[in-house]
Amino acid sequence: MSKSWSSTLRLPKSTFPPRPLPQFRKQYIQQCADDLYEWQKRNRPSNDTFVIHDGPPYANGDLHVGHALNKILKDMILRVKIQQGRGVEYIPGWDCHGLPIELRAIENFSEGIEPTPFEIRRAAQNLASKNVQKQMESFRSFGVMADWDRRWTTMDVAFEIRQLRLFQEMFKSGLITRALKPVYWSPSSRTALAEAELEYKDDHISHAAWVKFPLTEEWRTLPRFDHLSSKIQGPVYAVIWTTTPWTLPANRAIAVHDELQYCIIRWGTSNLLVSQSRIEILISKIGGSMDDIEVIATFKGEMLRSLKYVNRLQGKNAEPGRIIHADFVSEDSGSGLVHVAPGHGFDDFEVCQTHRIPPAVCIDDEGKFTADAFPDSPEILQSAPSVIEGGGKHVLGLLEPHGDVLRVERYQHKYPYDWRTKKPVVIRATQQWFADVGCIKEDAVAALDDVSFIPESGRKRLESFIQGRKEWCISRQRAWGVPIPALHETKTGASIVSLDVIESIISAIEQRGISAWWSDPPDDPSWLPHSLQKLMESGPYRRGTDTMDVWFDSGSSWMIMRGRADVYLEGSDQHRGWFQSSLLTRVAAGASKDTLDNFDKGAPFKKLITHGFTLDQNGKKMSKSLGNVIQPHQVMDGSLLPPMKQKKGNNNKDKGKNKDKVTEKPPVYDSLGPDALRLWVASSDYTRDVVIGASVLAAIHTALLKYRTIVKMLLGSAHESARTAPLSAADHIAIIHLQDTMKEVGGAFDNYEFYKGFAALNRWITNDLSAFYLEALKDRLYCGDGGGVLEPILTGFLRMLAPMTPLLVEEAWSHRPEWMIRDSSLVHPHHQLYDDPIINPGRFTRDLVSMRKDIPVLMSVHAAIKSGLEAARGDKMVGSSLQSSVILDISDAPTREVLEKYEDELEAIFVVSSVEINVPPPTSPEWSYTRDFSIHDVVKGKVMVLPPKQAKCPRCWRYVAPVEDALCKRCEDVVAAT
């Protein structure tokens, strides 16, 4: 029986667990997040602080993985900057006003109770406060560090005051006005919406209609139509096509284009006016053929100007409508004549303004028809459904008895929806407050010149959104928000706003609180400036009920900062949201001569980073309706992956009557904690949409468990004596590989390309660390002097991991061996500078520059030997690589010279029992495997893998012993010294 030599080996010893222990998670988060943030405030320079300004998440509901993607990206950037020696500032914020929270708050009131605005606000504030606390705890559980105690919300009094001051500055610059203009209106939310609050549905179905309006007979008296009067018997009808029949009661004009050709055609007994190019389309729609029509006359659109027509919906006493020219009329769709409702269309409003045609609005806040929609019998349309629930059919029902509806058809097209209620919106003219974007948008675009974008495509996207805007509707008709600081005459509704009024309102809010705006008596004089006290004598006034757009809220958050942020980082949808509103408000503030103190003009951000949306494993966008929303805790607890296999055991102590019963154990999942979530973020190319699912997370778990295995091995195998042991060639190669990898990873992290750093780290682990160095080191580590460079490798490895998996790094530090704990000179991995040396250069015994040139030769030979060994292993000739010897046949002199420099260490580098160069091979070996090796695709020599030449050493298992069961010389010396 052979002797056991295990007691003489340096086997790994570490307390580091194979998987994170949940009872220590909070401790590690405290240390690697909260404590680290405070540490860097004290120990990193304060004159070069790197600032990430938080795009505030909405304080409503639970977090999903998209929130985790955003917050963890920010956190990794901060950690990289700390490693680079900079101080960081990250003050998290929350967006708390707006409709979703208000609606949730209203739901909490008993049915039948109509809460006052003050009661709604109090309930909404309580709800938002709870959600902020809940979301903050979730964010902190991801290992995200921040100045949590200084967190801000848009409902903070100080924030609201700053926001009102910004409004004041913009009013002073002439950028704020109140006007009756069309805006996007949500009947389901009963408020105006900004473009950023819309989402477009590509498969919306409208009931489009072809409708005819009779021209008045005045056309017959015009000289330009003398030649037609006798040819046309009966009325002439102007044919229009509309996808919004509900707007027909608000029609005030029909538009043509001066340069298009129009025809009057006879179809049956009807005379129809239509664009020449659309005749065939019209006839096909109304069920006729070209043989059924007669073209009576053809003329340019300019001849139709000023003709009048009758809209039966407007009542018997209504003024006729006019035909006008509009540049937007084309031959691409419809009839070539466009129904114009200036109260329900942006282009319609603009063209009617030039003709002094006032807008008419035929629906109320809920999208239901008003009495003006059908004055002759108001109740008919007032009892109809809202316009988003089919009200348009009732309008057409009033026209059908007159034969004015030629056709109704289903029409699928892109249409805007309220992003909150997921219901269609309309365009409706109302009295709203507007910020003039048109006069500052060139300055806003110019402010982006010194901003860098990741990805670069974000620049054009943001610029296009800004260039496409003329004005911004900043008012909303809800209670939960910051009030527009204006007064109104009670009788007329006219606004009373001036710098004095705004200043008086802000001062009153500072003294009385913002809720007093809703709770004070309507005519409380304390809200009036002294200069306008006489206003009370001329008639009663009221405070306005409009609140500011939530994008104005969050868009003013840059006022919290002392200067410009280094980074804004949010989802790609924020180009038309927070990025845009932040840029516009800051540029607008800079337009004021008396702007804020120490104001640094320009964009609020120096770098703009956008990430994509999170998709499920099938590439579908996550939504509650599809049931595919993934929450961060599901990633952290491992429940998205199959449960772990449990050891089989006998749960039935009573083997009698309970013999056949089986007790099912609850499933146990592989919970790897916040680092699993963070590593998924780090591995993802966030500049595109990011997929998450079981297959993706399985790969993340594999990588994370590999990291833990390596950390455990490094902690358990690093010896204090290795600090003074001589460095082998393999050690030098390992340091070169590590330095190269750290440079690549650090460069990727500095460029915000974490996924590239993640990939580079994994390549190093697979190709250089595991497959090469750790294999080459095992013999020396366990059987020899225990030397090597495991401590520098551990140091470098933890530095690379620190931004991605900070809990793992903290856990590794807490499990460092006793000799490391005693060494007070060691710096915590989270406190280290990334570029600090990982090893004392004085320990090198070889020139790294020269050696770097040799590595391709060594690695090429190594690969060829491994290939030969794999073949031998496949043929069951060897198990361990040590069961072989190698002969190198090299005719290329430079290659031979390189290998001869390392001849004494080649067997250790290649993990075989012996290596010889250019010696004759045995004449009839038991087996052999020959492989070519190449450098830069040029064959430089051959390797021959052969059986070992000596006996197996029972201690180190190398085949270098003189006889069977005898120790090799090295092992004899080591054992004798112990």
pLDDT tens readout for residues 52-61: 999 999 999 8
Question: Does the pLDDT value for residue 657 go beyond 60?
Answer: no
Question: Does the pLDDT value for residue 651 go beyond 60?
Answer: no
Question: Does the pLDDT value for residue 663 go beyond 70?
Answer: no
Q: Tell me the average pLDDT of the chain.
A: 92
CB burial of residue 627 (10 Å; 0-12, 13-18, 19+): exposed
Token pair 């990898």 in the structure block, residue: 741
The DSSP H or E segment spanning 311 is none
Question: Does the pLDDT value for residue 192 go beyond 90?
Answer: no
pLDDT at 660: 56
pLDDT at 490: 82
pLDDT at 930: 95
Q: What is the pLDDT of residues 295-349, one digit of tens each?
A: 999 999 999 998 999 999 998 888 999 999 999 999 888 999 999 999 999 999 9
Instruction: Retrieve residue 531's tokens.
Output: 């200069």
pLDDT at 592: 61
- The mean pLDDT value for 5-11 works out to 84
- The mean pLDDT value for 478-492 works out to 90
Longest Cα separation, the chain:
129
- The mean pLDDT value for 505-519 works out to 93
- Residue 437 CA to residue 472 CA, distance in Å, equals 6
Q: What is the pLDDT of residues 440-450, one digit of tens each?
A: 999 999 999 99
Q: Which of 100, 91, 89 is nearest to 58 (CA)?
A: 100
Token pair 């004085």 in the structure block, residue: 842
- Residue 822 CA to residue 953 CA, distance in Å, equals 37
Token pair 């939310």 in the structure block, residue: 189
Sequence-distant (≥ 6) Cβ neighbours of residue 660 within 8 angstroms: none
- Residue 105 CA to residue 103 CA, distance in Å, equals 5
- β-sheet bridge partners, residue 571: 611
pLDDT at 666: 87
pLDDT at 692: 95
- Residue 557 CA to residue 482 CA, distance in Å, equals 14
pLDDT at 596: 52
Q: What is the pLDDT of residues 99-121, one digit of tens each?
A: 889 989 998 888 888 899 999 99
Q: What is the pLDDT of residues 772-783, one digit of tens each?
A: 999 999 999 999
Is residue 435 left, alpha or beta, with left meaning phi > 0 and alpha meaning psi from -120 to 50?
A: beta
pLDDT at 9: 86
- The mean pLDDT value for 493-514 works out to 91
Least confident of 101-115, 707-721, 737-751, 859-873: 101-115
Instruction: Retrieve residue 957's tokens.
Output: 């298992």
The percent of residues in the chain predicted with pLDDT above 70, rounded, is 97
Question: Does the pLDDT value for residue 670 go beyond 80?
Answer: yes
pLDDT at 903: 93
- The mean pLDDT value for 218-228 works out to 89
Q: Using alpha carbons only, what angle is made at residue 570 by residues 569 and 576, rounded to the nearest 5 degrees?
A: 120
- Residue 307 CA to residue 221 CA, distance in Å, equals 11
Q: List strand residue ranges (DSSP E) for 666-752, in order.
A: 690-691
- Residue 98 CA to residue 551 CA, distance in Å, equals 10
- Residue 362 CA to residue 341 CA, distance in Å, equals 10
Of the CA atoms within 13 Å of residue 693, those in its CB half-sphere come to 12
pLDDT at 525: 79
200 phi/psi in degrees, rounded to 5: -105, 130
Instruction: Retrieve residue 198's tokens.
Output: 């819309």
8 Å CB contact between 923 and 847: no
- The mean pLDDT value for 886-895 works out to 94
- Residue 804 CA to residue 757 CA, distance in Å, equals 10
The DSSP H or E segment spanning 68 is helix 65-83
- Residue 704 CA to residue 769 CA, distance in Å, equals 16
Q: What is the pLDDT of residues 347-383, one digit of tens each?
A: 999 999 999 999 999 999 999 999 999 999 999 999 9
Instruction: Give the per-residue SS3 of 256-292.
Output: ECCCCEEEEEEECCEEEEEEHHHHHHHHHHCCCCHHH
pLDDT at 1: 45
Report the helix count and the strand count for the chain, using DSSP H and E.
31, 32
111 phi/psi in degrees, rounded to 5: -60, 135
Token pair 């099938």 in the structure block, residue: 618
Q: Which of 799, 786, 795 is nearest to 823 (CA)?
A: 795
Does 56 sit behind a cis peptide bond, omega within 30 degrees of 0 on the bond before it? no
CB burial of residue 49 (10 Å; 0-12, 13-18, 19+): middle
8 Å CB contact between 58 and 95: yes
Q: What is the pLDDT of residues 590-644, one digit of tens each?
A: 866 555 556 678 999 999 999 999 999 999 988 777 888 999 999 999 999 999 8
Where would I find the H helices in 549-659?
Answer: 550-555, 578-590, 632-636
Residues in the chain: 978
- Residue 172 CA to residue 165 CA, distance in Å, equals 10
User: How far is residue 58 CA from its own chain's centroid?
Assistant: 14
- Residue 88 CA to residue 565 CA, distance in Å, equals 11
Instruction: Retrieve residue 370's tokens.
Output: 């008003």
Where would I find the H helices in 718-847?
Answer: 729-750, 754-763, 775-778, 790-801, 806-814, 818-822
Q: What is the pLDDT of residues 777-808, one digit of tens each?
A: 999 999 988 889 999 999 999 999 999 999 99
Strands 321-325 and 308-309, by their bridges, are antiparallel
pLDDT at 241: 95
8 Å CB contact between 2 and 48: no
Q: Which of 903, 929, 910 is nearest to 859 (CA)?
A: 910
Instruction: Give the per-residue SS3 of 103-144.
Output: HHHHHCCCCCCCCCHHHHHHHHHHHHHHHHHHHHHHHHHCCC
- Residue 240 CA to residue 254 CA, distance in Å, equals 8
- Residue 263 CA to residue 282 CA, distance in Å, equals 12
- Residue 469 CA to residue 464 CA, distance in Å, equals 9
User: How far is residue 859 CA from its own chain's centroid?
Assistant: 42
- The mean pLDDT value for 194-199 works out to 82
Q: Please give the span between the terminal C-alpha atoms of the chain, in angstroms, as a whole number.
A: 23
The percent of residues in the chain predicted with pLDDT above 90, rounded, is 78
